[in-house]
Amino acid sequence: MYRLPEDASAALLTREIPADQPLDAWPTRAPSGTGEALDAACAHIAHEIRENQGWLMVDTGLAGLGDELLCSAVWNLFTTLSRPVPQYRTGELFYPVEVSGAPALASSHYSSSNLTGGFHTDGTLLDVAPHVAMLASLSAADEGGETVLVDAVRLVEVLTERAPEHLPPLEEVQPFHSGDSAEDPVMLHPILSRSGSRLEVHYLRRYIEQGHALQGRAMDDKLVAALDVWDEFIADPLLQTPVLIDRGQVLLWDNFRFVHGRTPFTEHRSRRRLRRAYGLFPAA
């Protein structure tokens, strides 16, 4: 856990964004005049995400603020750290991740439900997938509801050691589609690729299945076998890092390096309310 220095925390209060700001109209630029302490803190966070362990839990120290100020503060942090990009083709930049009674599109079925498992990377359906993903908490569930990160660098090491025959299908280009609208393009990504020395992962099994269905072709046996083994390793508790995000805390991670999911949760007295954002490095 990285606790923001007090002067960096205070700098997060320089810009307020109204609670009813449309989700696609949150400002994509960093607030101005926030000062060196916040810049230094964001440089540290970016370094941890890009060069070190690949993820970081940040405590803003602002849990005592009301929701509107807290959301503004985490947005000010995120825009200083990175350049936000939309999470859907409909442009939402700031998005609630909480159980909603309303029927959801397939492309947001996870964020509006209490489903578990379903490990994935974010933004596989977008023209621009995010480098960094953020989940900020307004409240945690009564019980459970940890976000679970699995480092694909480790997954590839383990696959290479124990089941290297399953790597080639994961390195082939696969079609991704949500199944929502035939007007949405089928996106093409290898599940595992490299950009320079960096591993890049794109994964959401259901979208790959939908992508094949939409193209009218069956998934071949080797791909299905490779995905079964990949999912089996992802489900290995030894490879999983569960993190509980409490009010005022922000989880940030390298979206190309980690697949993520969550553990089951119950919400009797306390609802699990998170806010999500996607960003690119460097900040604008």
Ligand X SMILES: O=C(O)CCC(=O)C(=O)O
Q: Which residues bind to ligand X, rule: CB under 6 A?
A: 97, 110-111, 122, 135, 147, 260, 262, 274, 276
Closest distance to Fe ion from the beta carbon of 108 (Å) = 10
Tell me whether residue 122 or residue 146 sits nearer to Fe ion (CB atom): 122
Q: Which residue has the tokens 């945690």?
A: 140
Encoding tokens for residue 63?
């849990």
Tell me whether residue 71 or residue 133 sits nearer to Fe ion (CB atom): 133
Closest distance to ligand X from the beta carbon of 43 (Å) = 26
Cα 241 from Cα 251, distance rounded (Å): 12
Q: Which residue has the tokens 């269905």?
A: 213
Confirm if 85 and 128 have CB atoms less than 8 A apart.
Answer: yes
For residue 46, what are the contacts with CB-CB under 8 A and spacing of at least 6?
A: 81, 82, 281, 282
Tell me whether residue 130 or residue 169 sits nearer to Fe ion (CB atom): 130
Contact string (CB under 5 A) for Fe ion, positions 112-131, x = contact: ----------x---------
Q: Beta 2-3 vs 55-59: how paired, if at all?
A: parallel
Q: How many residues does the chain have?
A: 284
Tell me whether residue 76 or residue 147 sits nearer to ligand X (CB atom): 147
Cα 198 from Cα 252, distance rounded (Å): 18
Tell me whether residue 3 or residue 276 sits nearer to ligand X (CB atom): 276
For residue 4, what are the contacts with CB-CB under 8 A and spacing of at least 6?
A: 12, 41, 58, 59, 60, 61, 77
Q: From Fe ion, ligand X, none, which one binds at residue 97 (CB under 5 to 8 Å depending on kind)?
A: ligand X
Cα 261 from Cα 247, distance rounded (Å): 19
Closest distance to ligand X from the beta carbon of 218 (Å) = 28
Q: From ligand X, Fe ion, none, which one binds at residue 275 (CB under 5 to 8 Å depending on kind)?
A: none
Closest distance to ligand X from the beta carbon of 87 (Å) = 8
Tell me whether residue 110 or residue 207 sits nearer to ligand X (CB atom): 110
Q: From ligand X, Fe ion, none, which one binds at residue 111 (CB under 5 to 8 Å depending on kind)?
A: ligand X
Cα 12 from Cα 4, distance rounded (Å): 10
Q: From ligand X, Fe ion, none, which one binds at residue 124 (CB under 5 to 8 Å depending on kind)?
A: none
Closest distance to ligand X from the beta carbon of 236 (Å) = 19
Closest distance to Fe ion from the beta carbon of 234 (Å) = 14
Cα 133 from Cα 260, distance rounded (Å): 10
Residues that bind Fe ion (CB under 5 A): 122
